[in-house]
Amino acid sequence: MAPAEMVPPASPTSATDSVHTLELGMLRGEGEAGRGWSNGDIRPELFPATRNGRLQLYSSQRRLLHLASGWSRIGTGTDGKEASELTHAVSSSNRGAAIVEDSSSEALAVRSLIAQLCEQFYRFGWATGTGGGVSIRVGGPAENRPWRVFVAPSGIQKEDMIGDDVFELDMDCNIVHPPKTPNLRLSACTPLWFVVYKHRPTARAVIHTHSMYAQLATMLDPTESRKVLSITHLEMLKGVGHHGYDDVLEIPIIDNRPSEDLLAEQLELAINAYPKSNAVLVRRHGLYCWGDSWEQAKTQCESFDYLFQAAVEMARLGLDPGAPPAHGTYREDDEVEPKAKRQNIGFNGLGRCDNAVDLVSNKLPILPRDGKILLLDIEGCTTAISFVKDTLFPYVLSHLDDYISRLDPMEFGLLAEALHSDLVNAKVAETVDTSDPAAMVRLMVQKDLKVASLKRMQGQMWRSGYEKGDLKGHVYPDFVHMVNWMQSHGVNIYIYSSGSVEAQKLLFGYSEEGDLTAGIEGHFDITTSGNKKDPSSYSKIARDIGVSPSQIVFCSDLEDELQAARLAGIGHTVMTIRPGNAPLTANGRKEYVSAFSLLQLCGV
């Protein structure tokens, strides 16, 4: 179908077709821009301002809509035959705030809108050969009435659809009002609209396209085994909901089936696994995309399509659409003010935070998808690095003399002997008075020796410090909320830290937020599991927990640890970014998903 301006102004369908006459005037540009149109036959107040006064009119028996006003106002005109129905219907369909006089005019408006959208999508090349479709629903609990679901029919030329071709269903997929046009069938996509409506309760419109770029974008991976298309660092990412310029958009890809209704189960899994995505790609087929209003669904669908075209063309140029740019200055700017940027999107990131609000308004979960186990580092992840450096270690030194003075002669002797033996092994024993345990401890701390005798003594001192209330384990405020969320969603939390299991239990048992040990399923340290930079440590942990490494989500502030975990097949590796952590390297930034708050691990 040609664009509106090119509709031949010839062959009026009847001599009394005053509407058609009006259209000719508008098509010649005689309309007053911004004012809309009226020739006296149509009550002007029913047709509020249109932007260009453009009309699309097949015949007076069919439909009369105006395309302007951001597509959000639909009017129908009069004609001799169907005056009762076509007299008045004006709908601001935006976000369901329908301004209609009765339910039949609402239906009329929505049916017309679906026809018009289908025609538009045909022009975009998304719905040629009768492919693709649109569904819109209105009503719902917010309006204290049942949902009314309107769906395009099967097999009809999308550029030639009219409102009378549209089905109205209830939320159980029963036909409430069949189309007026005889012999139409429900589309095979119909069950799929309902999958989206069920799992996205705020969705009010779903669009299905057979866009060329959407299907090509599912084939960028030559093995066609990838279940997700990643795109990052493109301005149009802002147009698809939940994403900023430098976020990584992940659109799930499901495999095609011989008939469309067989896609329902996969679609359901993908929607739930990727809560941030407002679309699902179907390999070698097209796209399903939705929004909280039909306008949102449409603009998002356009943005997605633009991004798919970009991804396909980038791949052709040998560029990876999922990788951040290796050059350019943006990332340097990003280093300067990450704080403000991140706070804008609602996470507590650095400094100021409001976890209760974050948890409620957290619409940007990054995990877990198939994660069953959350494995957390402590320092720089659950807890400030400075807590160990500025609180725990100084506590040992400042309470050392007091601690030693309270030992009985036997304990004193055992401690001195153990310290001495470790100093001999470290070949520094000759530089210190080996009858003075305090002096030996200070030397070990000064030389940063990680020896068993010192660790044991530190552990004992910390325990008494925690028990007396001198020490309270630091945890970031998001930690507790995250633990509660994981518990209520069946995700088990484990800790893997270089600090001993004993020290870990003390930290969480006597934390600033109280005793948190009930939320932690188990603990690992280097004695139970090995070095944190060794992949085999992570394999061992997975075996000990009894899951496959791919089911584990591991969070750490250290790239080497994430790298080791990834080599061991850990399913998801997340870099935690906390105040005082070492700056991210370019590679760390590129390779790992980063989280400013553990709440980002929680879904909605």
User: Of 254, 310, 301, which Cα lies nearest the Cα of 133?
Assistant: 301
Tokens of 257: 């089936």
The dihedral formed by the CA atoms of 213, 217, 223 and 229, expressed in degrees to the nearest 10: -170
Cβ-contact 500, 455 below 8 angstroms: yes
> How many other C-beta atoms lie within 10 A of the C-beta of residue 588?
19
> Tell me, what amino acid is at 488?
S
User: Of 18, 57, 56, 13, which Cα lies nearest the Cα of 38?
Assistant: 18
Q: How far is CA 95 from CA 113, 142, 143, 243, 291, in A?
A: 14, 11, 11, 21, 10
Q: Among 32, 224, 235, 335, which one carries the catalytic annotation?
A: 235
| Ramachandran sector of residue 29 (left: φ over 0; alpha: ψ -120 to 50; beta: rest) | left
In the residue annotation, 561 being an active-site residue is answered as no
> Tell me, what amino acid is at 165?
D
Which own/partner pairs from 548-553 qualify as long-range (CB within 8 Å, at least 24 positions apart)? 550/370, 551/370, 551/371, 551/372, 551/373, 552/371, 552/372, 552/373, 552/374, 552/375, 553/367, 553/368, 553/371, 553/373, 553/374, 553/375, 553/601
Q: How far is CA 559 from CA 87, 389, 450, in A?
A: 67, 20, 22
Q: Is the peptide bond before 368 cis (omega within 30 degrees of 0)?
A: yes
- Residues with catalytic annotation? 235
